[in-house]
């Protein structure tokens, strides 16, 4: 039953998108909200059937596609991918619910449904070629969303987004095909199944090059420094719902790839590259935070804030202990909720004033009290205030990497301080003081559709900050399985010793 439910969850948005062509323009938004609600309910049903005490993949389904080359429609979920699937369906639902009047809205809703299918497919795929297919297909609707509904420089932003991510994907495809060739040489049959690849330990020299191919593909998607330059343009030009989905879900595909593929398949290379990756991540945290502080455009502040926070997620992943990796996965989910809400909030004010410049506002708390209150809660989650969702993942990620390098962790920790500085500065300039601009005096507070989208996120920011165990416990079981695979596939004694010591510190 579970595997059939997972199949329906992956394919339902695709079917809904095709049916959407038959729906009238005036009914398409209601139809889209209904379909995304059904998809969200399906993802919650997956959670209800999921054994949270089991760390391995569940609800496995395999349908041969090209048997002679070992290509199959292989899907399954574990504690890591389950919550990213739920995040994808939830963000798509609330993003559509908050959607205001848009030109050619029918094509936009259909594009979002197709995009939802690709996002769920990425997190559920266990065949590497199927994963790559969903990964690449996600570029098409997002390219269209930015290019058709974006701001003045939308074409440049859309093309830059596509070229950067596609270039990284091509390198990853080369790595996938070469790994499939290695599996064929070792076993006499072709296979692109992650479950079978995990049983093929690779020589260190081979791991080195394959790690590079996969790493670049994922790093550009994150995006890591210095591959980050496409993201501010994409966010700056994308419509609100495009920015929401891009920040909340699409960026997580890269960090998910690190956890799902790099760690179990290339353990020796991962351990070897810990320090270089950590240095790039620390640069990413501090550099993006400083640029965020220098911005006057609210949307650009949040865009660079996303880059900075993604650096902390990568640090947690490369801590290679249960604490760090679990924290990074939890931070993917918390950042998805917080950044999605922040971009929605910017969209609210842009819809009313058609500007995102901080200096154009001031005193918003007086004219939009509900908006100011929700923004404050989400902002506290963004800066990692204790008892909010942002604190849990950020703390665990840094605490995990502290066991590897206290010095680098201390530098990364400055990102938390800088984050508080630029976010509180944004709030002070936009919400406090007198209402000096005449256009701001008549601004309307949050509409019902906006409250429907933002209130649930606000509740989750507080609830999961107080009780993170609901997500952390299943995630930790899957992280333990990943670390065990790393230890089994490691070829060098130094790597095995490092992982054993990490496990010893964890149990101590």
Could you tell me if residue 425 is inside a domain? yes
pLDDT at 232 exceeding the cut of 70:
yes
**Percent of the chain scored above 70 by pLDDT?**
98
> What is the rounded distance in angstroms from the CA atom of residue 85 to the CA atom of residue 31?
21
**What was the pLDDT predicted at 345?**
94
Please tell me the number of Cα atoms within 13 Å of 200 on its side-chain side: 21
Could you tell me if residue 127 is inside a domain? no
> What is the rounded distance in angstroms from the CA atom of residue 288 to the CA atom of residue 308?
5
Radius of gyration of the chain (CA): 22
pLDDT digits (tens, 9 = 90+) for 65-87: 988 888 999 999 999 999 999 99
If phi > 0 it is left, if psi is from -120 to 50 it is alpha, else beta; for residue 125 that is beta
| pLDDT band of 493, cuts 50, 70, 90 | low
Could you tell me if residue 112 is inside a domain? no
| pLDDT band of 504, cuts 50, 70, 90 | low
**What was the pLDDT predicted at 258?**
94
Could you tell me if residue 419 is inside a domain? yes
Q: Which distant-in-sequence residues (6+ apart) come within 8 Å of 84 by Cβ?
A: 123, 249, 252, 256, 332, 333
pLDDT at 190 exceeding the cut of 80:
yes
Mean pLDDT of the chain: 90
Cα 214 from chain centroid? Answer: 17
pLDDT digits (tens, 9 = 90+) for 284-318: 999 999 999 989 889 999 989 989 999 999 999 99
Please give the residue range of the domain that contains residue 449.
273-466
> What is the rounded distance in angstroms from the CA atom of residue 46 to the CA atom of residue 169?
29
Classify 202 as helix, strand or coil: coil
Could you tell me if residue 421 is inside a domain? yes
pLDDT at 161 exceeding the cut of 70:
yes
**What was the pLDDT predicted at 375?**
95
> What is the rounded distance in angstroms from the CA atom of residue 21 to the CA atom of residue 37?
19
| pLDDT band of 506, cuts 50, 70, 90 | low
Could you tell me if residue 377 is inside a domain? yes
**What was the pLDDT predicted at 415?**
86
> What is the rounded distance in angstroms from the CA atom of residue 340 to the CA atom of residue 328?
18
Q: How many domains does the chain have?
A: 1
Query: Are 114 and 17 in contact, with CB atoms under 8 Å apart?
Result: yes
Between 40 and 438, where is the model more confident? 40
pLDDT at 495 exceeding the cut of 80:
no
pLDDT at 458 exceeding the cut of 60:
yes
Query: Are 329 and 477 in contact, with CB atoms under 8 Å apart?
Result: no
**What was the pLDDT predicted at 261?**
93
Show the DSSP H helices in 188-266 as ranges: 194-197, 204-221, 230-237, 240-245, 251-257, 263-265
**What was the pLDDT predicted at 287?**
92
Could you tell me if residue 364 is inside a domain? yes
Please tell me the number of Cα atoms within 13 Å of 331 on its side-chain side: 32
CA-to-CA separations, 435 to 355, 365, 430, 441, 467, in angstroms, rounded = 16, 9, 10, 7, 39
pLDDT at 215 exceeding the cut of 70:
yes
Q: Which distant-in-sequence residues (6+ apart) come within 8 Å of 147 by Cβ?
A: 154, 155, 158, 159
> What's 338-389 look like in SS3?
HHHHHHHHHHHHHHHHCCCEHHHCCCHHHHCHHHHHHHHHHHHHHCCCCCCH
pTM: 0.94
> What is the rounded distance in angstroms from the CA atom of residue 215 to the CA atom of residue 261?
10
Could you tell me if residue 371 is inside a domain? yes
Classify 60 as helix, strand or coil: strand
**What was the pLDDT predicted at 325?**
94
pLDDT digits (tens, 9 = 90+) for 242-283: 999 998 999 899 999 999 999 999 999 999 899 999 999 999
pLDDT digits (tens, 9 = 90+) for 110-160: 999 999 999 999 999 999 999 999 999 999 999 999 988 887 888 888 888
């Amino acid at each position: 039953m579970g595997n059939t439910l997972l199949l329906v969850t992956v394919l339902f948005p695709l079917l809904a998108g095709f049916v959407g062509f038959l729906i009238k323009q005036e009914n398409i938004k209601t139809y889209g909200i209904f379909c995304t609600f059904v998809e969200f309910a399906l993802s919650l049903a997956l959670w209800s059937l999921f054994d949270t005490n089991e760390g391995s993949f569940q609800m496995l389904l395999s349908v041969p596609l090209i048997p002679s080359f070992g290509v199959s429609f292989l899907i399954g979920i574990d504690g890591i991918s389950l919550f990213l699937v739920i995040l994808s369906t939830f963000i798509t639902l609330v993003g559509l619910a908050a959607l205001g009047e848009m030109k050619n809205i029918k094509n936009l809703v259909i594009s979002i449904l197709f995009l939802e299918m690709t996002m769920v497919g990425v997190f559920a795929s266990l065949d590497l070629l199927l994963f790559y297919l969903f990964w690449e297909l996600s570029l098409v609707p997002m390219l269209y969303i930015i290019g058709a509904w974006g701001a003045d420089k939308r074409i440049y932003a859309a093309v830059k987004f596509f070229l950067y991510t596609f270039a990284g994907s091509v390198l990853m495809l080369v790595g996938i095909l070469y790994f499939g060739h290695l599996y064929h040489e070792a076993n006499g049959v072709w296979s692109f199944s992650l479950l079978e690849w995990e049983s093929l330990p690779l020589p260190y020299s081979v791991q080195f090059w394959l790690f590079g191919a996969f790493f670049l593909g994922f790093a550009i998607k994150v995006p890591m420094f210095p591959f980050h330059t496409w993201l501010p343009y994409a966010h700056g030009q994308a419509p609100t719902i495009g920015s929401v989905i891009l920040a909340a879900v699409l960026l997580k595909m890269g960090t998910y790839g690190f956890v799902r593929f790099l760690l179990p398949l290339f353990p020796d290379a991962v351990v070897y590259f810990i320090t270089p990756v950590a240095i790039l991540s620390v640069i990413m945290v501090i550099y993006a935070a400083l640029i965020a502080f220098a911005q006057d455009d609210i949307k650009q502040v949040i865009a660079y804030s996303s880059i900075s926070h993604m650096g902390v997620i990568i640090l947690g992943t490369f801590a290679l202990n249960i604490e760090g990796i679990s924290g990074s996965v939890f931070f993917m989910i918390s950042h998805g909720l917080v950044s999605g809400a922040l971009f929605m909030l910017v969209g609210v004010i842009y819809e009313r004033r058609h500007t995102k410049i901080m200096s154009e506002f001031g005193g918003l708390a007086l004219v939009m009290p509900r908006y100011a209150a929700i923004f404050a809660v989400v902002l506290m989650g963004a800066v990692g205030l204790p008892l909010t969702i942002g604190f849990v993942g950020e703390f665990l990620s840094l605490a995990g990497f502290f066991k590897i390098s206290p010095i680098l962790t201390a530098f990364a920790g400055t990102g938390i301080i800088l984050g508080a500085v630029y976010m509180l500065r944004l709030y002070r300039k936009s919400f406090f003081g007198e209402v000096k601009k005449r256009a701001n005096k008549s601004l309307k507070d949050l509409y019902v559709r906006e409250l429907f989208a933002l209130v649930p996120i606000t509740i989750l920011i507080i609830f999961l900050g107080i009780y993170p165990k609901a997500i952390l416990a299943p995630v930790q079981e899957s992280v333990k399985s990943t670390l065990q695979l790393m230890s089994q596939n490691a070829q060098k004694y130094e790597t095995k010793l490092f992982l054993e010591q990490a496990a010893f510190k964890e149990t101590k």
